[in-house]
Amino acid sequence: MAIRLDASSPDFERAFETLLTGKRESSVDVNDAVAKIIADVRARGDAALIELTNKFDRLSLTPETLRIPDAELDAAVAACDAKTLDALKMAKARIEAYHARQKPSDGRFTDAQGVELGHRWTAVGAVGLYVPGGTANYPSSVLMNAVPAKVAGVERVVMVVPMPDGKVNPLVLAAARLAGVDEVYRVGGAQAVAALAYGTATIKPVDKIVGPGNAFVAAAKRQVFGIVGIDMIAGPSEILVVADGQNDPDWIAADLLSQAEHDESSQSILVTDDAAFASRVEEAVAAQLKLLPRETTATKSWADFGAVIVVKSLVDSVPLVDRLAPEHLEIAVDDPEPLAARIRNAGAIFLGRYTPEAVGDYVAGSNHVLPTARSARFSSGLNVLDFMKRTSIVRCDADSLGRIGPAAVALATAEGLDAHGRSVSIRLNK
């Protein structure tokens, strides 16, 4: 059973602060083991990658079988049942359409001093996409990572996916094919991250690595950061539902459980202005939990990290939401826009009574890779700009350098950087 907080209670601030700062993830220190794996792959390339895959995934490979041939990806598409394949295609098309609008424009202008200024966006050259094996092996995540990269114009998208005992979810391979992934390798863990970062004879190195993974993968991404770019380190999922008493408690309970089922460390929070409604939702959660195949996970998540907060008015939810900075925020009221407009920190906002967060996980078109653990205070969900970079452009001629150059010389002198000043002054009065 989730905790219940009453915002009008004198000890609310203390209880809310506990909710806010509670640690949901226990971090395992695997840094030394990961450093050894990376050094090994860096030194011995394919040979190390193959040995480690044999050891950890019980899969015997050769340099020739590291890569999954395109024919095998095509076969995975062909083996999909029609309904799932159609759903994957719809999701891919909608993600593509949404992200295509994120493509940034280049710009140039000449200012009053005659200096030409601008910027240009270019795609990252090659991106590695990590796809976990086991239970978190989601075709939707392949689409959410690979499609924005392709929309950005990344020429080479390389996927790695472990195949423990030779097994892989064929839907993941089908999603890779649909998303236009260029190369797929059957390796995982820190060894796959090392291969992507440093390259081997078979796997050419990439410039950036994205995608979720276990503690080994996360540690490996942190360790190769700098050599390559990485995306955020994703934490357990979160949903915060702001709902008035006019909702169907079963609907809201279903939404809370949609995140609780992900992981025992997931967090589902309801904020409502109706204490009686809150109780009905709690009852509905209890009833629905029993119907879930993932009952154990969802029950533990709801009991350990779930919360129901009763506020006097829904407007009072705004500062609470901003402090929690949830990954997913639902605003289930008739007129959600005024409340939404006041919220500053949320990864994604789902408006109204007919927008369960799960549509955003699959087919809304927006990205489901979103900031967790309060990082929506300072970061954004995955988007096309994550696969591009911006180059500044400056051009002076003798006249415009004559206008702004003397100030540069003055500042260089004030900072004691004479060579800086000299590179400007040597061009003045010519």
Annotated binding site for substrate: 237, 259, 262, 328, 361, 415, 420
Q: How many residues bind a copy of itself (CB under 8 A)?
A: 122
If one asks whether residue 335 binds a copy of itself (CB under 8 A), the answer comes out as no
Q: Does 390 bind a copy of itself (CB under 8 A)?
A: yes
Strands 348-351, 328-332: pairing kind = parallel
Q: Which residues of 249-263 are buried (b: 16+ CB within 10 A; e: fewer)?
A: bebbbebbbbbbbbb
Residues numbered 162 to 221 that lie near a copy of itself (CB under 8 A) are: 171, 207-208
Q: Which of 32, 62, 101, 165 binds a copy of itself (CB under 8 A)?
A: 101
| Residue ranges in 402-421 that form contacts with a copy of itself under rule CB under 8 A | 404-408, 410-412, 414-421
Among 58, 167, 312, 395, binds a copy of itself (CB under 8 A): 395
Torsion angles phi and psi, residue 375, rounded to 5: -80, -5
Q: What is the SS3 assignment for 328?
A: strand
Residue 327 is a catalytic residue: yes
Query: Is residue 427 part of the contact set for a copy of itself (CB under 8 A)?
Result: yes
How many CA atoms lie less than 13 Å away from 394 in the CB half-sphere? 6
Considering the complex, what minimum distance in angstroms separates the CB of residue 409 from a copy of itself? 8
Burial class (CB in 10 A: 0-12, 13-18, 19+), 107: exposed
Count of other CB atoms within 10 angstroms of residue 43:
10
For the bound state, the minimum distance from the C-beta of residue 104 to a copy of itself, rounded and expressed in Å, comes to 8
Among 107, 179, 175, smallest CA distance to 146 is for 179
Q: Are 146 and 179 in contact (CB under 8 A)?
A: yes
- Shortest reach from residue 276's CB to a copy of itself, in Å: 21
- Only segment of 12-20, 42-50, 212-220, 384-392 that touches a copy of itself (CB under 8 A): 384-392
List the one residue from 29, 62, 83, 165 that touches a copy of itself (CB under 8 A).
Answer: 83
Q: Which of 282, 328, 330, 368 is catalytic?
A: 328
Is position 114 an interface residue for a copy of itself (rule: CB under 8 A)? no
Cα 376 to chain centroid, rounded: 11
Residue 250 near a copy of itself by CB under 8 A: yes
Give the DSSP H or E segment for 421: helix 418-425
Among 226, 290, 313, 334, binds a copy of itself (CB under 8 A): 226
Q: Is 328 a catalytic residue?
A: yes
The answer to the question of residue 371 lying near a copy of itself (CB under 8 A) is: yes
* Residue in the block written with tokens 């357990």: 236
Maximal CA-CA distance, the chain? 83
User: Which residues are tagged catalytic?
Assistant: 327-328
